[in-house]
Chains A and B, each alone.
Chain A
Amino acid sequence: MNTAKIKEQPEVLEAVIIRFVGDSGDGMQLTGTQFSDTSAMFGNDIATFPNYPSEIRAPQGSLYGVSGFQVHIGSVEISTPGDEVDLLVAMNPAGLKTNLHAVKPGHTIIVDTDAFTKKNLEKAQYESNPLEDDSLENYRIIEVSMTSLTKEALKGVEGLDNKSITRSKNMFALGMVYWMYDRSTEHTEDFFNKKFKSKPHVIEANTRVLKAGYNYANTLELIPNSYTISPAKMSSGTYRIIMGNTATAWGFLAAAEKSGLELFLGSYPITPATDILHELVKHKHFGVKAFQAEDEIAGIASAIGASFAGDLAITTTSGPGLALKGEALGLAMMIELPLVVVNVQRGGPSTGLPTKTEQSDLLQAMYGRNGESPVIVIAASTPADCFDFAYQACKLALEHMTPVILLTDGYIANGSAPWKVKSVAEMPEIKNNLVIEVKENWHPYDRNEETLARNWAVPGTAGLEHRVGGLEKDKVTGNVSYVPENHEYMTNIRAEKVQRVQNYIPNIETEFAETGDLLVVGWGGTYGSLHTAVKQINEQGYKKIGLAHFNYINPLPKNTKEVLSRFKKVLVCELNNGQFSKVLSSNFSGIELLQFNKVQGLPFGNGELIQKFKQIVA
């Protein structure tokens, strides 16, 4: 085979978005992960997002069984997995049909023609073969008999059945994409060597197919040239690719080690939060006590018990689970114990859209309990900073003796991005309010004068035996009290304690403009989308548009009103019908808040944001 083209100098691109789609069993997640890991190690900035069906084993070839993985790589800063794709790799007709809308006109689609059988076309509800009619004329189609070529490449490898041969065609596709984007196959070969250590024939098979795909792309006339994406400018250090839910779990591990407390997780499986449980149960070597309870309520109840006994206690859930935990969360707030509740938000209400993203639990987090029951509410904004905000949630809970709700969402929880690895040594100190010594005239509701945090006396400490409970307590003795003035005093002091957290959180800072025509306001998981859009519109010459993105919701940063007042117009963008906007307007009168809301279970698209900004400043 000496037909290989002489490799021309690859064309340099700033960024590219690639989506791999196929059947649930086609290994698209692995293919996508390998491509993104290789690119990250090459030095690109990346963001990825998986998209799999909610059915566990959907019928082969069906439209709803399509599994996909999108990766956005760049030599420039990458903040989201991106909207429209430059390259679609479709392993079957159903994958093509359900993802075609996302491909930029004129861009490339690679298909496995062997999968375009009559049966598969019917399953994908195609009336005619799209490869044979003119429905794809706006795209550059690269037709490859991937299954046959894979079989060909594996001739002579012993010990493989038909199924595993066909299954490795995803590596053929990966090999092709590696060639197209000027990537080495080395990282993936290393991966095979580690993963299949005890099965040398599997290593050989996968390596052969990967290389076959690479060489095939090299010889294929249809691919005129290859592209490259130079390394991004990132600060030096050790990096790894991390998923949001993993980062959240690791933030808790770090906080437990730093605070010197044992970590307790009480949880009940719920999409899309379950991966935090999956991650934490692995880490028994750090003494993590992960308890899968019988329901959401027992999950938080066990965490409250563990907190009462002196552990760093966490419970993890998503929207419907937070509703179930409401009463217990009120108890934790009333007895003033440290507790972190993670809500990985999904589409609501009720069961809603469990596998899709939304920001519609903000008001539930703020107000979803009986009585006057304020808690700290914070939100992470990227897959990587889930680590920092999980850590921060623990720090605030322990230092202020109150429950903290940490909001993430399906988009950042399942998305992944480079994380500059942090050592526990460089994380901020975590103090706690444990009382170890018996003091004269001690009371359970003695408070720190600065923070108003009550002291934390745990069972096993002699001389500090006391009772807490959901009934109102006397401000001094901690005994049950129905005295009207005492109830009002305690209600106010619990609120004041949360409000004073303002003194311990950073001010809000704007990006791109400090004053001007329009302030784009966001919170939580929309950071990547909003940052990218505001950056682009600035690059287009709209220099008076700034971004204020909030991570601290309750309490809000001290300077919030002042920052909002610096711009002529304020546009609050959120994936709900205006919940943060309500929080802001209930705090600050006299500021007109424009809204941009989306409730489709999807993140903001770059185009729709820029269009909205232009419309406002026009």
Chain B
Amino acid sequence: METTVKKYTFKDFSSDQEVRWCPGCDDYVILRSMQKALPEMNVKKEDVVFISGIGCSSRFPYYMNTYGMHSIHGRAPGIASGVKLANPALSVWIITGDGDAMAIGGNHFIHVLRRNIDLNIVLFNNEIYGLTKGQFSPTSLVGQKTKSSPYGNTQPPFSPGELALGAQARFFARIGGNNPKEMSTIFVESHKFKGTSLIEVLQNCVIFNDGCFKNVTDKEVKEDQQIYLEHGKPMIFGKEKDKGLVLNGLKLEVVTIGENGITQEDLLVHNAKEEDPTLHQMLVRMKYPVATGIIRSFDDVTLEERMNDLTAQVKENSNFKKTDDLFFSGETYEVK
């Protein structure tokens, strides 16, 4: 049953704390997109919880006028899982970065996705450690020069989406840090989705990794370099809306509508709800164009649903209503 909730504005979700990210950081965009998305979710402010780990991104809960916890490095998925299992009525959000989620918190990251608790994870990927001032992260590129790799990074990176799908993620979206409108839409969709949703934001770090996504996200190139996927719609992109994707054998291929007899009907139609993640994985891996939007959104049973069903079953079949029933049951004996 949907209950109607007071109509909020983004201001209701802004705390009184001064935001202290570097000027020009994409984190401001993410914060504002979230504050604008929340009033669209039909959720009470007191039922919203933000849990973060450690890193620039993880200051986020302090700026939200909701319940929140700025926890310890990499452990937000564990804490958020506990919050949600304790009170499934809450809308629980994990705010994390590439280091927090995939280096120190890698183990928790894959397991939270595998379990499919109804949580929302926003991963700020800037391919660098910002708060510790510029070391390479698990998403930094080979050869990237950073403070801890002055001659170039030698460690090959993870792709967050690829890792997430491998870990059974049911919902994965990707969005540029300069696309507030689409970002808000994705936040609302991820809230609606029952299960763990992961949103990777391609977030520019103006200080330590400026321009890391400029070839993909800059205004001038983004329409040609990104394909914004929407469920049920053909895979079209480009400034002229003339490019599209087809499957050629086991490869995705970019084609131009009107060339070689290609029409819009030949293009792939995005099915985010497909259980088989093969095509989603190909889209995630694709370098040109870079896939954005909701790439995968497969409805599955959540962990808390499984747990609640089991508990209800056990309760129904059990004679134990109070702990005394257990303590005085079975092999007891009387001493007179």
Contacts and interface: CB of A to CB of B under 8 A. Distances in A.
Interface of A: 37, 40-41, 43, 231, 234-241, 250, 253-254, 257, 262, 264, 266, 283-287, 289, 291, 293-295, 297-311, 313, 327-328, 331, 335, 421-425, 458-471, 479-480
B108 A257 contact: no
A395 to B, nearest CB: 15
Contact of A460 (B47, B75, B79, B328): B47
Contacts of B44: 462
Interface in B49-82: 49, 51, 54, 61-62, 64-72, 75, 77-82
Contacts of B84: 305
Contact of B336 (A236, A297, A458): A236
Contact of A310 (B15, B61, B78, B86): B86
Contacts of A294: 107-108, 111
A421 B332 contact: yes
A326 to B, nearest CB: 11
In the complex, which of the residues B45, B71, B84 has the most CB atoms of chain A within 10 Å of its own CB atom?
B71
Nearest to B6: A462
Contacts of B336: 236
Interface string B264-287: 000000000000000000000000
Interface in B272-328: 307, 310-311, 314-315, 318, 320-324, 326-328
B86 A309 contact: yes
A163 B66 CA distance: 65
A236 B335 contact: yes
Nearest to B73: A327
B5 to A, nearest CB: 11
Contact of B82 (A231, A254, A301, A480): A301
Contact of A301 (B49, B67, B71, B326): B71
A545 to B, nearest CB: 30
Contacts of A461: 46
Given A331-B71, A459-B49, A308 B79 contact: yes
Given A283-B326, A287-B311, A467 B15 contact: yes
Given A285-B314, A294-B111, A423 B82 contact: no
A53 B30 CA distance: 56
In the complex, which of the residues A283, A286, A425 has the most CB atoms of chain B within 10 Å of its own CB atom?
A286
In the complex, which of the residues A306, A461, A465 has the most CB atoms of chain B within 10 Å of its own CB atom?
A465
9 contacts: A250-B327, A262-B86, A289-B307, A293-B81, A302-B78, A302-B79, A305-B78, A460-B87, A470-B70
Contacts of A234: 335
Contacts of A300: 78
B83 interface: yes
Nearest to B316: A285
Interface of B: 15, 17, 44-49, 51, 54, 61-62, 64-72, 75, 77-87, 89-90, 107-108, 111, 307, 310-311, 314-315, 318, 320-324, 326-328, 330-336
B328 A301 contact: no
B72 to A, nearest CB: 5
A311 B51 CA distance: 17
B332 A284 contact: no
Contacts of B322: 257, 424
Nearest to B82: A305
Contacts of B49: 309, 459
A231 to B, nearest CB: 8
B172 to A, nearest CB: 20
B333 A40 contact: yes
Contacts of A480: 17, 62
Given A262-B86, A301-B108, A313-B82, 14 more contacts: A266-B78, A285-B314, A297-B108, A298-B75, A298-B108, A298-B111, A300-B78, A301-B77, A304-B71, A309-B83, A310-B87, A465-B66, A466-B68, A470-B71
A421 B90 contact: no
B47 A250 contact: no
Contacts of A459: 46-49, 67, 83, 87, 90
Nearest to B81: A302
